[in-house]
Chain A
């Protein structure tokens, strides 16, 4: 018996039971579509995070005061670290040729007010280089003046949310803003940025870093952002930074230098695991669809008992009968898989249009395994019905009408 004849026979008997065929197709299709969609979501989340990091710059080092043991989930601080100072930040640019620029950061929460309106917000102290390092943009006015790191001044740049909430329709440029008991002149408004690395960059006030330290009465910086010239130099630059700090801090390594890559890769791993988990859950629905295929095929065998008996009387072997039923099950489930694939891709595409930030494309491994699984489901769950069909006694089968 030829391969085509098996398929033709299978297709013929499937056509004979439209509703049943359609329902089973649906089962497999839903399973495959679920695999595609859920893994697309997971993959989309992963890419979203990647893009976020790329937007911040992939050749970034972050220096935190204190040595953090990054082995556990919660960082453990050992001892009391020395301050990380503005002089340290300047030393980095001066002493390492691999460092292009740095942005020292001081940070605090404070009530910010304009006339009678007030709002609790994040106040970032930094230098003009923050603009380039964090890829920010100014919407109106200008950014912090380049007057040297150690010198500050009572000026500030505000985010869009602050502008909206405190100034409403007024032009904020040149107005006086209160930060705690201090008074600042607004010299610029940031362009819309939104969430970036877990911080709402629209709901901030940026002031010169030296002023920031004074306002919050700190001696140590919150962190230093270090931009390395090229991505390839990042590990060398990291060693440079640690060496410079050790020299300045009497041979003690009391800062933590995080590379963007290490943060990204641990997040990446997490999201890949998540994607696998989602895919696995969806695969369960495929297995359930397989049970549906098996059920349909068992019904088909009992419905076609006399036909099977006849085929045997005409000279069909057990193997031929079994193969024909297996072909039918495989045809059923792989057609369902094809439909599911189309639906899954369409769904992922629609998702991408609704949430452009989330690039939801199913990963190739998920697509391949969904297709293989759906065909395999037919073969695996088709075995029992096929065996039952092939073992039918032709006389008994023919006798029933």
Chain B
């Protein structure tokens, strides 16, 4: 499903160049569960952004479902993000003035779905993450774990094939972190390809595969 070949991402900061990713090769099959670990600044988020079509490689190729996506137009990239990819962030990134349900509805708004259809699907998704009773709450009225579960419902509402999570438990206590991880894994069990960036070794061990990055390069990959 995912095929990276010699992907390099270079940032120009003043007149120095930062190689956030340095000739990375990676293959991920459909339904896989991959954890990415490594020290701070090793390029984990950069890799996730490229995988999520938020950023483009400076060189190298990225094929998603057989299609080269690194060179797509902005609008086509947006379309890939909308239909194929779901994001979960460390800081949740919910829109604070919108209710939980409205937050979940956002991707469907961009897809142009009818309001009644949106509401129905959003409520179902909130039910799946155990938040049926919180549909009309705004993010500030929700706990961290609840917010991350709303974000998870939103990330999966369009039925993506790939779910990308950047330190999804980084801001949660153990218990709610555990709940979120269980939800993620349950979705993975149903066929969703899951890629998680984490600093938590325990979470890293739970994944089927572990990718270790140092200075934008792979150091080992365990199965």
By a CB distance below 8 angstroms, the chain A residues around B54 are: 312-313, 394-395, 398
By a CB distance below 8 angstroms, the chain B residues around A317 are: 74-75, 78-79, 110
Query: Do A314 and B49 contact each other (CB < 8 Å), given the known contacts A1-B112, A307-B95, A395-B54?
Result: no
By the criterion CB–CB under 8 Å, are A314 and B98 in contact?
A: no
B87 contacts partner chain A, Cβ-Cβ < 8 Å: yes
Q: What count of chain A residues pass the 8 Å CB interface test?
A: 26
Q: 1/0 contact trace for A3-18 toward B, CB 8 Å?
A: 0110001001101100
Q: Using CB atoms, name the residue of chain B closest to A311.
A: B106
Contact of A319 among B55, B75, B154 (CB under 8 A): B75
Task: Tell me the dominant secondary structure on chain A's binding face.
Answer: helix
By the criterion CB–CB under 8 Å, are B83 and A315 in contact?
A: yes
Q: How far is the CA of A9 from the CA of B98 in the complex (A)?
A: 10
Q: How far is the CA of A1 from the CA of B81 in the complex (A)?
A: 15
Q: How far is the CA of A67 from the CA of B87 in the complex (A)?
A: 90
By the criterion CB–CB under 8 Å, are B110 and A398 in contact?
A: no
Contact of B78 among A307, A310, A312 (CB under 8 A): A312
By a CB distance below 8 angstroms, the chain A residues around B52 are: 313
By the criterion CB–CB under 8 Å, are B97 and A314 in contact?
A: no
A316 contacts partner chain B, Cβ-Cβ < 8 Å: yes
By a CB distance below 8 angstroms, the chain A residues around B87 are: 313-314
By a CB distance below 8 angstroms, the chain A residues around B98 are: 12
Q: Using CB atoms, name the residue of chain B closest to A17.
A: B97
Contacting A at CB under 8 A, from B36-84, are: 49, 52, 54-55, 74-75, 78-79, 81-83
Q: How big is chain B's contact interface, by range?
A: 20 to 34
Give B72 Cβ to nearest chain A Cβ, in Å.
Answer: 12
By the criterion CB–CB under 8 Å, are B78 and A315 in contact?
A: yes
Contacting A at CB under 8 A, from B92-135, are: 93, 95, 97-98, 106-107, 109-112, 115
Give B162 Cβ to nearest chain A Cβ, in Å.
Answer: 13
By a CB distance below 8 angstroms, the chain A residues around B79 are: 315, 317
Q: How far is the CA of A9 from the CA of B105 in the complex (A)?
A: 12
Q: How far is the CA of A311 from the CA of B79 in the complex (A)?
A: 12
Q: Using CB atoms, name the residue of chain B closest to A318.
A: B74
By the criterion CB–CB under 8 Å, are B93 and A306 in contact?
A: yes
Q: Using CB atoms, name the residue of chain A closest to B109.
A: A5
Q: Using CB atoms, name the residue of chain A closest to B74.
A: A318
A115 contacts partner chain B, Cβ-Cβ < 8 Å: no
Q: Using CB atoms, name the residue of chain B closest to A399.
A: B45
By a CB distance below 8 angstroms, the chain A residues around B158 are: 315
By the criterion CB–CB under 8 Å, are A1 and B78 in contact?
A: no
By the criterion CB–CB under 8 Å, are A315 and B110 in contact?
A: yes
Which of A5, A16, A312, A319 has the most chain B CB atoms inside 10 A of its CB?
Answer: A5
Q: How far is the CA of A313 from the CA of B82 in the complex (A)?
A: 8
Q: How far is the CA of A354 from the CA of B12 in the complex (A)?
A: 69
Give A354 Cβ to nearest chain B Cβ, in Å.
Answer: 45
By a CB distance below 8 angstroms, the chain A residues around B78 are: 312, 315-318
Give A15 Cβ to nearest chain B Cβ, in Å.
Answer: 8
By a CB distance below 8 angstroms, the chain A residues around B154 are: 314
Which of B87, B95, B107 has the most chain A CB atoms inside 10 A of its CB?
Answer: B95
B33 contacts partner chain A, Cβ-Cβ < 8 Å: no
By the criterion CB–CB under 8 Å, are B110 and A1 in contact?
A: yes
Contact of B81 among A9, A15, A315 (CB under 8 A): A315
By the criterion CB–CB under 8 Å, are B95 and A1 in contact?
A: no
By the criterion CB–CB under 8 Å, are A398 and B89 in contact?
A: yes
Q: How far is the CA of A318 from the CA of B95 in the complex (A)?
A: 18
Query: Do A314 and B107 contact each other (CB < 8 Å), given the known contacts A16-B97, A306-B93, A394-B54?
Result: yes
By a CB distance below 8 angstroms, the chain B residues around A307 are: 95
Q: Using CB atoms, name the residue of chain A closest to B50.
A: A395
A168 contacts partner chain B, Cβ-Cβ < 8 Å: no
A320 contacts partner chain B, Cβ-Cβ < 8 Å: yes
Contact of A315 among B49, B89, B107 (CB under 8 A): B107
Q: 1/0 contact trace for A298-340 toward B, CB 8 Å?
A: 0000000011001111111111100000000000000000000
By the criterion CB–CB under 8 Å, are A310 and B95 in contact?
A: yes
Q: How far is the CA of A398 from the CA of B89 in the complex (A)?
A: 10
By a CB distance below 8 angstroms, the chain B residues around A5 are: 109
Q: Using CB atoms, name the residue of chain A closest to B79.
A: A315
The 7 nearest A-B residue pairs measured at CB: A315-B82, A317-B78, A315-B81, A310-B93, A316-B110, A314-B107, A5-B109
10 contacts between A and B (CB under 8 A): A1-B109, A5-B109, A306-B93, A312-B78, A314-B154, A315-B111, A316-B78, A317-B79, A395-B54, A401-B91
